[in-house]
Amino acid sequence: MTAFGDVVEAYRIPTVVRLTDNLYALSYRLMKMIPARHIMRRAADEGLLEPDTTVVETTSGTFGLALAMECALTSRPLVLVSDPVIDAPLRRRLEDLGATVDIVSHRAPGGGYQPTRLARVAELMAGLPSAFCPQQYSNPANPASYALVASLLAEQVGQVDCLVGPVGSGGSMSGTTSALREAFPDLTAIGVDTHRSVLFGQPDGHRTLRGLGNSLIPANLDHRQFDEVHWIGAADAYAATRALHRKHALFMGPTSGASYLAATWWAARNADALTVVVLPDEGYRYLDTVYDDGWLRGNGWTGGGVDTAPLTVDTPLQAGPGWCRTLWGRRSLAEVSGAVVEVAA
């Protein structure tokens, strides 16, 4: 008899889809289910989750949704600290799953909300009799959880020559790349970021493209795993998201579009290499935005997809508003930027 899993199991295992002769997509319904379940089960095994323990985490995206689904299934209280940028449909879904969404209203001096959100998490946990924070940015169980994905790719695709994916907490790309290199040491890893994200050495600022990038350096981001970094803006990402849907019928979010743009360019230039692109989540949250032509026109996002290739720059600070790339060369951020790097706890 076949053993069936719960909804989390159904969501967390990605599907491998062939796009071209040398380009495959690793398509997730909800990628953050992988670290969320792994972290929560490990915490339970280690005795960190008592019956009355409240889970508290900072998130404005799909890690919060993954936690909300997991906590709903286990009847565990959950508080998610976010900011005004969280999209309304996601917030409604989180609250319908029973999560409390706590919104911070003040940006940190550098311009981002993340430090303010982390301070609020600490404040909330100090006031609770029993609390657990999954710490997606610093918990080593986050990248470790993606060994499952590396095994799946090796089994279904075989030789993987290049992995392309978005970077936010650092866990998925750092963890999947590290595990894949145990079998394929020459694997090329390409991280996809966006402008005014500090992850790869740009100054912090307002980011229109959400779901990737960050205003702090997560401990789980291993810069030495990356061979290239691409910075992609909202217009290009939105255009690529729609192209991915029209050409391959893959209905994904804009972080997937950004990764698809970089991956198709690299795969076309390296016809003898097998490239895998990470597509983190489905597009239902974006029906009224990225998939709405009127919204795109009204917000000035119809000029994407003009560039057919990125501008190659020597340093992160040279990466302007358009699609840019740099040859990272598996170096640390300090080696590339020449500055002291402060990593978030």
Domain closes at, from 132, 159, 191: 132
Kindly state the DSSP code that residue 337 receives in the 8-state scheme.
H
Domain closes at, from 90, 110, 132: 132
Domain closes at, from 70, 101, 132: 132
Same domain, 148 and 123: no
Give the CB-side neighbour count of residue 92, counting CA atoms within 13 A: 4
Q: Does residue 305 sit within a domain? A: yes
Same domain, 316 and 275: yes
Q: Does residue 173 sit within a domain? A: yes
The per-residue pLDDT for range 109-131, each reduced to its tens digit, is 766 788 889 899 999 999 999 99
Phi, psi for 201 (deg, rounded to 5) = 100, 5
Look at the chain and report how many structural domains it folds into: 2
Same domain, 168 and 79: no
Q: Where are the beta strands (DSSP E) in the chain?
A: 15-20, 23-27, 54-58, 78-82, 100-103, 131-132, 162-166, 188-193, 228-231, 275-279, 311-312, 324-327
According to the model, what pLDDT value does residue 2 have? 43
Same domain, 11 and 45: no
Same domain, 105 and 240: no
Question: Which CATH number belongs to the domain containing residue 232 in this structure?
Answer: 3.40.50.1100
User: Measuring CA to CA, how many Å separate 119 from each of 56, 58, 112, 157?
Assistant: 12, 10, 13, 43
According to the model, what pLDDT value does residue 112 have? 72
The rounded distance, in Å, linking the Cα atoms of 135 and 138 is: 6
pTM metric for this prediction: 0.93
Q: Does residue 185 sit within a domain? A: yes
Same domain, 69 and 192: no
Contact (Cβ atoms closer than 8 angstroms) between residue 144 and residue 38: yes
Same domain, 265 and 283: yes
Same domain, 172 and 74: no
Q: Does residue 336 sit within a domain? A: no
Same domain, 170 and 232: yes
Same domain, 153 and 278: yes
Same domain, 202 and 296: yes
Helix orientation angle between 62-73 and 33-45, rounded to the nearest 10 degrees: 50
Q: Does residue 324 sit within a domain? A: yes
The per-residue pLDDT for range 146-188, each reduced to its tens digit, is 999 999 999 999 999 999 999 999 999 999 999 999 999 999 9
Q: Does residue 338 sit within a domain? A: no
Q: Does residue 52 sit within a domain? A: yes
Q: Does residue 137 sit within a domain? A: no
Q: Which residue has the tokens 């319904």?
A: 29
**Residue 122, domain extent:** 33-132
Same domain, 201 and 258: yes
According to the model, what pLDDT value does residue 184 have? 96
Contacts of 316 (CB under 8 A, 6+ apart): 200, 201, 202, 229, 231, 326, 336, 337
- Closest listed residue to residue 76, CA positions, set 42, 102, 59, 100: 100
According to the model, what pLDDT value does residue 308 have? 83
According to the model, what pLDDT value does residue 110 have? 65
Taking 70 as the pLDDT cut, the residues of the chain under it are: 1-4, 110-111, 306-307, 339-345
Contact (Cβ atoms closer than 8 angstroms) between residue 198 and residue 306: no
